[in-house]
Chain A
Amino acid sequence: MIEIKDIEKSFGDTKVLKGISATFETGKTNLIIGRSGSGKTVMLKSLLGIHTPEVGTISFDGRIYSELSKDEKRKLRTEIGMVFQGSALFDSMNVEENVGFPLKMFTDKKSRVIKERVNEVLDRVNLKDANHKFPNELSGGMQKRVAIARAIVNNPKYLFCDEPNSGLDPETSILIDELIQEITREYDITTVINTHDMNSVLQIGEKIIFLKNGIKEWEGNNEQILETRNKSIVEFVYSSDLFKKVRESLLEEDDEERSNDLHLNK
């Protein structure tokens, strides 16, 4: 479990995070959502230790990050897996080398054992026969799978994903979302996903934190988000033209059915 308490972060005179508190639960997919500029990325980078909040604490299963020694922080980092927005695969390495990189860097495992583990996780993310391909030979969806495989190869306790569906078609996005959720449950890890993709929100939002202008505006899950009357949430959820049109057409169909029923009754 990751717990953040009253974190504040500024860049110059601009306060990006304004006293946010939240809990990200283990075994669940926790989503941070909000419009661009709401502070999602800064919050995720604060959780990763890339940014240091001026105020507040971040604790990983009771370990307060700012109070850890250098060695403890290094150890904690080996417990973290990260899936970047653009996958961030190392161009000079093939799939097998990319996935095996954390094991090679942080464990004393023999190359045979590393290879077995790499094949195991590649199998888990449904990527077979791609071991010797380079990132530029893979599709966007395949690159995301490799990035997920690399993130989980070292059995992390915490998995962070920065807009994992960015640049993917809707069908592949669903597959990636499902994969992340399955892995979260299977490995019992704390997963935090930064997204503004509504399909992901509805599909895997077991816990959702909605940020607006650096403040936590709302907290709930994928069922509650459709029921809430919070104005900011409603505007966010139904902001796309697609949703508006679907909503309008559904309302029109509903009206037609009612008028037909009235005619029949008469």
Chain B
Amino acid sequence: MKQLILKEIDDLIIGSLGIVAFISFFIGGVVAIQTALNLTNPLIPKSLIAFATRQSVILEFAPTFISIIMAGRAGSYITSSIGTMRVTEQIDALEVMGVNAINYLVFPKIVAFTLYPFVIAISMFLGILGGWLAGVYGGFVGSDQFITGIQTDFIPFHVFYAFLKTFIFGMLLATIPSFHGFYMKGGALEVGKASTTSFVWTSVVIITVNYIITQLLLS
């Protein structure tokens, strides 16, 4: 089981770092540029660019947007790999041997996704870094102003809120695609359909749960 968990961590968590880092860095930069371009009033301090970037990245972009990306990347991988095992009788083989197939296939993925908040922490850091680089080197804001903006009105509870929902999204990312793969019926074509359905449902549930958690914790 230990080996299976390590393999899932490698496939699902470490394997996703590249795309998460790439998207986070550039989206952070874009958020900073968009905010800067919309700040036409000279009375509004430039540090607001950093403030807006920080709030967008920590509250929504990193936990929610990256989770939707992960539903496509890791979720489709989970559904198609388990679905292919179903189609090619590998799950039947496990059951005939007396192995609890759900425990064997799904549990390591759930354990792997407990590390998902670390991915989001990296995403948050790179998003803000991207915003700083785009803001400072794009000539929109000075480095000191950006650092000041990042520290302005910082509420630690927001970080707790972000990581709490990240953890819940991680559990959803592990279980919904696994369900769609495990209980699929048919052949290779249905594996593709199951992956698509799984992505749609995971995204819908993430967005809905995001709304509920935000309503409960922040309103």
Can you name 6 A-B pairs with beta carbons within 8 Å?
A: A74-B98, A77-B97, A84-B92, A88-B88, A89-B90, A91-B85
How far apart sit A106 and B98, CA to CA, in the bound complex (Å)? Answer: 9
How far apart sit A82 and B94, CA to CA, in the bound complex (Å)? Answer: 10
Q: Which residue numbers of B lie inside 8 Å of A, CB to CB?
A: 7, 84-85, 88-90, 92-93, 95-99
What distance in Å separates the Cβ of A109 from its nearest Cβ neighbour in chain B? 16
B residues less than 8 Å from A48 (CB atoms): 96
Cross-chain contact B89 with A86 (CB below 8 angstroms): yes
Pick the residue among A50, A78, A105 that contacts B95 (CB under 8 A): A50
- A102 contacts B by Cβ under 8 Å: yes
- A172 contacts B by Cβ under 8 Å: no
A residues less than 8 Å from B97 (CB atoms): 77-78, 80, 82, 101-102, 105-106
How far apart sit A78 and B89, CA to CA, in the bound complex (Å)? Answer: 18
Chain A residue with minimal CB distance to B98?
A77
- A38 contacts B by Cβ under 8 Å: no
How far apart sit A48 and B95, CA to CA, in the bound complex (Å)? Answer: 10
Cross-chain contact A78 with B98 (CB below 8 angstroms): yes
B residues less than 8 Å from A90 (CB atoms): 85, 90, 93
What distance in Å separates the Cβ of A93 from its nearest Cβ neighbour in chain B? 10
How far apart sit A137 and B92, CA to CA, in the bound complex (Å)? Answer: 22
Chain B residue with minimal CB distance to A90?
B90
Chain B residue with minimal CB distance to A73?
B98
Q: Which A residues from 36 to 87 make CB contacts under 8 A with B?
A: 48-50, 74, 77-78, 80, 82, 84-86
Chain B residue with minimal CB distance to A80?
B96
B residues less than 8 Å from A88 (CB atoms): 88-90, 92-93
What distance in Å separates the Cβ of B9 from its nearest Cβ neighbour in chain A? 15
How far apart sit A174 and B73, CA to CA, in the bound complex (Å)? Answer: 45
Cross-chain contact B89 with A105 (CB below 8 angstroms): no
How far apart sit A49 and B98, CA to CA, in the bound complex (Å)? Answer: 10
What distance in Å separates the Cβ of A92 from its nearest Cβ neighbour in chain B? 8
What distance in Å separates the Cβ of B63 from its nearest Cβ neighbour in chain A? 30
A residues less than 8 Å from B99 (CB atoms): 105
What distance in Å separates the Cβ of A86 from its nearest Cβ neighbour in chain B? 6
Q: Which A residues from 94 to 134 make CB contacts under 8 A with B?
A: 101-102, 105-106
How far apart sit A49 and B92, CA to CA, in the bound complex (Å)? Answer: 11
Cross-chain contact A84 with B95 (CB below 8 angstroms): no
- 4 closest residue pairs by CB, A with B: A77-B98, A88-B89, A88-B93, A84-B89
What distance in Å separates the Cβ of A135 from its nearest Cβ neighbour in chain B? 9
How far apart sit A92 and B95, CA to CA, in the bound complex (Å)? Answer: 17
B residues less than 8 Å from A82 (CB atoms): 93, 96-97
How far apart sit A90 and B99, CA to CA, in the bound complex (Å)? Answer: 14
Cross-chain contact B96 with A86 (CB below 8 angstroms): no
B residues less than 8 Å from A91 (CB atoms): 84-85, 88, 90
Chain A residue with minimal CB distance to B4?
A92
Cross-chain contact B90 with A77 (CB below 8 angstroms): no
How far apart sit A90 and B85, CA to CA, in the bound complex (Å)? Answer: 8
